[in-house]
Amino acid sequence: MTSVGIVDTEHGGDERGNEHSTANLRPVPSSNRNGVLEMMAMRRDPFAYADRRMAQYGNISGLNALGLKLVVTGGPRAASEILMNKDRAFANGPAWSYFIGPFFNRGIMLLDFDEHRHHRHILQQAFTPKVLKGYMAEMQPIIAERVAAFPTGKVKLFSEFKELTLDVALEVFLGMELPKHEADKLNQAFIDTVRAGVAYVRKPMPGGRWWKGLRGRKVLEEFFYANIAAKRATQTPDLFSVLCHAESDEGDRFTDEDVVNHMIFVLMAAHDTSTITMTQMAYWMAKHPSWQDRARAQSLALDSELTYDDLGKLDALDLIMKESLRLCPPVPAQPRMAIKDTSVQGFFIPKGTIVSVSQMTNHRDPEFYTNPDIFDPERFGPDRAEDKGHRMAWMPFGGGVHKCIGLYFGQMEIKTILHQLLRGYEWSVPADYQIPMDYSSLPVPKDKLPVQLRRR
């Protein structure tokens, strides 16, 4: 075992002479194992991997991963220290850029401090309740029409959801009727940029993921720049138009370049996260038909067309969604880079270290959750409220200044789609079926969740 960072406790500073007092800080315990093997073990079974590290090193430990000095943290207290970032010691940009920088250049999640605050104030205007109601009105008819046309029999629900959320994104985010070949081209460009972030070969080798990602980014940029003048000319209820006209309370507005960068990032941030969540919810409702029945009864008690206020009445879906997000957070971990020497939970974190906050680990912390591996939505009910034990005990949407800006949009879309599915269909999986997950990037089912889908 080695440690990450050299601690000079005598002088209360580090070898670079920085000010941060390191007296009494402990070095982070770290494994000597080859970082690539570590990453592979983590991807294969992140739960077993986290348990093993926790047992061996405790909830803060280091590894050398693909040339990165990485410190993995577990537990809501460490998460709170890092994400609330009181000393402004941790930055998003340099950490996230490593993974997605070239494809999501200057997306809001990659901005920091004053610049981030400036952009977030303007972006917030695209997610107020009034604007959300406009998006909801736009998405209702497409969702109702598309869910009604779902195939029956053995159906891969993940694929159906993915296609549907892409179509919703084109309508609600772009607000444009595109010829099929152009919509397909955009979808492909978008898929390529998302996949590029987890490429093993991080160079533009022709035909490779990285190369396709860069090409995809170019297609998206060209599309948005070509349409921005028209969007600035009139106001429509789609995100593209809203960003063109958004103005913060201080009167700040986005430049064309900002609009393009934010559109590309938000499309990415909104898509897989919502698809993964509804897939997990559908899986658990297939495994636990009593929850499916309970959620269906509430949907049948409402009209087919939901109003924004109806969303709050679907409380069975709420509980199922919370529990699904707990067991499988679509963003399983968040990286930050220490931009100065600092500490987490009494451990020394040298400048340049990437620390990772793991919601996947925190969501199974037995200090807060009874039988954490069991699907039990009632744990979120008012009597138990297990998620309230610590503000970072349940954190699928992150925390601190970068907390997900689209959390209400995401929940609105997910509930609207599942509301239609519950009203129109019943679905099941064999009793012994366990969803096989691929954790190599965002967690997706390897088999795309095949269910038996029957019209009611």
Least distance to ligand HEM, CB of residue 382, Å: 23
Q: How many CB atoms lie within 10 A of CB 403?
A: 11
> What sign does the CA torsion over 341, 65, 83, 119 have?
positive
396 interacts with ligand HEM by CB under 6 A: yes
Residue showing the smallest CB distance to ligand HEM in the complex: 406
Of the pair 57, 158, the CB lying nearest ligand HEM is at 158
Q: Is 322 near ligand HEM (CB under 6 A)? A: no
Query: Judged by CB under 6 A, which of 42, 331, 355, 422 binds ligand HEM?
Result: 331
Q: How far apart are CA 281 and CA 269, in angstroms?
A: 19
Instruction: Give strand pairing partners of 13.
Output: 8
Closest residue by Cα to residue 425 from 227, 160, 90: 160
Quick one: which segment of 3-11, 54-62, 145-153, 404-412 binds ligand HEM (CB under 6 A)?
404-412
Tell me the one-letter amino acid at 238: D
Q: For 352-406, where are the alpha helices, taking DSSP H only?
A: 359-362
Q: Which of 25, 50, 157, 269 binds ligand HEM (CB under 6 A)?
A: 269
| By the rule CB under 6 A, 409 interacts with ligand HEM | yes
State the nearest-atom distance from the C-beta of 27 to ligand HEM, in Å. 26
Contact residue for ligand HEM among 97, 277, 280, 361 (CB under 6 A): 277
Residue (20 or 399) nearer to ligand HEM, CB:
399
Rounded-to-10 torsion of CA 30, 36, 41, 43: 110
405 binds ligand HEM (CB under 6 A): yes
Amino acid present at 221: E
The terminus-to-terminus CA distance of the chain in angstroms comes to 59
What binding mask, one character per residue, do residues 69-108 give for ligand HEM by CB under 6 A, x or -? -----------------------x---------------x
Of 274, 299, 416, 420, the residue at the interface with ligand HEM (CB under 6 A) is 274
- DSSP string of 174-195, one letter each residue: I-----HHHHHHHHHHHHHHHH
Could you tell me which stretch among 8-16, 21-29, 58-66, 391-399 binds ligand HEM (CB under 6 A)? 391-399
Kindly state whether residue 120 participates in binding ligand HEM, applying the rule CB under 6 A: yes
Please give the Cα distance from 268 to 409 (Å, whole number): 14
Q: Cβ of residue 421: shortest distance to ligand HEM, in angstroms?
A: 17
With CB under 6 A as the rule, give the number of residues binding ligand HEM: 22
**Near ligand HEM by CB under 6 A, which window of 8-16, 246-254, 403-411, 427-435?**
403-411
Shortest separation between residue 395's beta carbon and ligand HEM, angstroms = 7
337 vs 103: CA distance, rounded Å: 19
Among 64, 73, 241, 273, binds ligand HEM (CB under 6 A): 273
Contact, 341 vs 349, CB < 8 A? yes
Give backbone dihedrals phi and psi of 430, rounded to 5 degrees, phi first.
-60, 150
Q: Is residue 124 a contact partner of residue 262, using CB atoms and an 8 Å limit?
A: no
As to burial, measured by CB atoms within 10 angstroms (0-12 exposed, 13-18 middle, 19+ buried), residue 55 is: exposed
- Is residue 22 within 8 A of residue 14, CB to CB? The reply is yes
Nearest approach in angstroms of CB 258 to ligand HEM is 13
Are the C-beta atoms of 254 and 266 separated by less than 8 Å?
no
72 or 405: whose CB is closer to ligand HEM?
405
Residues that bind ligand HEM (CB under 6 A): 92, 108-109, 120, 266, 269-270, 273-274, 277, 330-331, 334, 396-398, 402, 404-406, 409-410
